Amino acid sequence: MVFSTAHDMFLLAQVGNPTPEAPPLSGEILQMVRYVTWFSILSGVAGITVAGGKFAWEKWHGSSFTSPKMIAGGMIGGVVATSAGTIMNTLIS
């Protein structure tokens, strides 16, 4: 009897493989994500451009160099921002 009850509970606990379905308004949400991605890339390009100008200014005036950190940070941030979908697919799969 205990075995029969355990077997029945095991059968009830099994769930089939559901078919994924897009939720309502998913098109608008994906469009917003694309806008945020575009803005992220634009801000990264602007940041690297400003850091490049600051690098030239620091070199011209002989002051300490802080702009290489800005350039490296902008490039690393750009790589993470543009590959976020790939990173999430890798972690979830």
Please name the residue that has the structure tokens 């160099």: 65
Judge whether 72 lies within some domain.
yes
The count of C-alpha atoms lying within 13 angstroms of the C-alpha of 18, restricted to the half-sphere facing its C-beta, is 5
Compute the distance between CA of residue 78 and CA of residue 93 in angstroms, rounded to an integer: 23
Give me the domain span that covers residue 64: 48-93
The whole-number pLDDT of residue 32 equals 92
Please name the residue that has the structure tokens 């608008």: 28
Mean pLDDT of the residues in the chain:
79
Judge whether 75 lies within some domain.
yes
Compute the distance between CA of residue 14 and CA of residue 8 in angstroms, rounded to an integer: 10
Judge whether 27 lies within some domain.
no
pLDDT classification of 31: cutoffs 50, 70, 90: very high
pTM over 0.85: no
